A and B are shown apart, each in its own frame.
Chain A
């Protein structure tokens, strides 16, 4: 297997997670990590160059692929700069919150002829991949209903909410991509109903903390996504695909499979608490898929168009809630 030399932009939580995964990944060599705000300290290992300036990565001719894990507003400019430098790109979601900005960025990427994968890691989760496989294998027949439960364990700080782009672009965006992935169909129309039930400060910041979004797919199927910013019992991530031949359902994952039976009930441990734990395997698998695409010169499994579509759906959902009416998703 050919070794690919990689640079990482952004050494926050997700950047470090990806870099650590790459350090254990065969066929990949992390050469440098740049982050203007990082206090690198004892991390990463000494043989990896670190710096404050992104040019450390972007101007290095030896670097073939770049991971963009910096704050959202830098995703589009870094993607364009990396494409211009002829580097393949793995970019965290969202590419941008403005569809026109995403379109411009995708044009630059296309013109450069480099690969672009967007970080919809949940597509690579072994459990959800298995559900998709059941769909592909025809086990559920024609899809009629998709149900996604997506509840965070703890509401984020209000400062985060204020800069998040709102629940639909920050949180539900993963679920929109999951609906597209599971169905293999496009979203035509969105209706969203929201409420502030967890923290009034989230409402004052102009967002909601609880939402039910229904989607009409081009295939005719219906989908529903239920979101909550706070499930006290843990990270609640379930999907179900129901169709003419049956249903495929994925429940929550727990750290163990122990059942404690006592006089007052049958107890198992709560779901894995945090997305880094729940989706650990998916973060590795999405990068393996990205590097395989680079090595084999194939289209990455999640491309720029997927990144754009989920933002368009998110904007339609936000508009639907604001105007209290169903909204058709802007055609690509």
Chain B
């Protein structure tokens, strides 16, 4: 198989994870360069990455690099995509591409003009269980879709510093759920109603965000969906999905790192779910990058494109407005005009 030469921009937690996956688990990729302002040189050297820098131009200016993995902070995503597109490099970018629909519309158009592949990091679309679920729905085994349910609970509330620059729970956290609903239902979100509260940490409220949210969604095909989300489930990363329809239902429950069950007089105790997204979606993170590389080679369609990113962000913005105004918001109320963003 043809190898694709890849550069990575941003080596924070998720950047390091993607880089390690590329090096250890994805033989069709060669990581030539990694750039990050606080780069851990030892880590990068240990992975055998030849070019290691705090300067992004070593990635963007290298003609040999065909594809860029952007895992820089969210606020830099759009500008980096524009630069990569201008350099003719294919882009895999972590979510969210931007907090404003207009900025995403801009990068979508730039990617189209440059003729590059642009994939967004909606990792759940590459999870084996969710792939199975969606195939079951597409095969018609649950009939017409009536309701979609997503439970999304993190094991531990993030630090307040993160909350402050996260874009808020709807854009940072539920963004995955909006994409999942579109993915599982095969339909578009037309209306959302969001409610929520600060039930875990008052500091999150003081930072202007909420930590517990519930969103009801109406889809274009008539189906309904509901998301319940929490920033902290003490028992672990709670990720459950269900599609219910005229022919039955299909569900994905939590996976656990160990399947052991201890039965004693005190009760029957199984292991808790994974302790976070890195372990829960380990296979999905590898598969999404392999999917991206397949799209770069022209072997497969993009798993999640800028259009998907735009749709999810519009739903998230609508949910945020719904929560702020305490009324249902139709997505047509969320402007999409290009140029409305914060292009530097």
Contacts and interface: CB of A to CB of B under 8 A. Distances in A.
Nearest to B191: A193
Contacts of A236: 249
Contact of B146 (A145, A198, A216, A326): A198
A304 B148 CA distance: 36
A141 B212 CA distance: 15
Interface string A223-260: 01010101111001000001011110000000000000
Contacts of A210: 146-147, 224
B246 A326 contact: no
A145 B226 contact: no
A325 interface: yes
A277 B328 CA distance: 38
B224 A193 contact: yes
A121 interface: no
Interface residues of A, number: 37
Interface stretch (B11-19, B24-32, B230-238, B257-265): B230-238
Of the listed residues B144, B244, B326, the one surrounded by the most CB atoms of chain A closer than 10 A to its CB is B244
Interface residues of B, number: 39
B233 A242 contact: yes
Determine which residue in B144, B226, B247 has the highest number of CB atoms from chain A within 10 A of its CB, and name it: B226
B222 A145 contact: no
B195 A222 contact: yes
A48 interface: no
Contacts, number: 107
B235 A222 contact: no
A75 interface: no
B200 interface: yes
A212 B217 CA distance: 9
Given A191-B195, A193-B216, A244-B234, A324 B222 contact: no
Given A224-B214, A233-B248, A242 B230 contact: yes
Nearest to A143: B199
A246 B234 contact: yes
Given A214-B216, A222-B214, A244-B234, A198 B196 contact: no
Given A210-B224, A231-B249, A233-B248, A325 B327 contact: yes
A245 B224 CA distance: 30
B146 A197 contact: yes
Interface string B271-292: 0000000000000000000000
B228 interface: yes
B314 interface: no
Given A212-B216, A326-B327, A226 B147 contact: yes
B156 interface: no
Interface string A18-55: 00000000000000000000000000000000000000
Interface of B: 143-144, 146-147, 149, 151, 153, 191, 193, 195-197, 199-200, 212-214, 216, 218, 222-226, 228, 230, 232-235, 238, 244, 246-249, 326-328
Interface of A: 141-142, 144-145, 147, 151, 189, 191, 193-195, 197-198, 210-212, 214, 216, 220-222, 224, 226, 228, 230-233, 236, 242, 244-247, 324-326
6 contacts: A142-B199, A212-B225, A212-B226, A224-B226, A246-B234, A247-B238
Given A228-B147, A232-B247, A233-B248, 19 more contacts: A142-B199, A151-B244, A193-B191, A193-B328, A195-B223, A195-B224, A197-B146, A197-B246, A210-B146, A210-B147, A214-B193, A214-B226, A220-B197, A221-B199, A222-B213, A233-B249, A246-B235, A247-B233, A247-B238
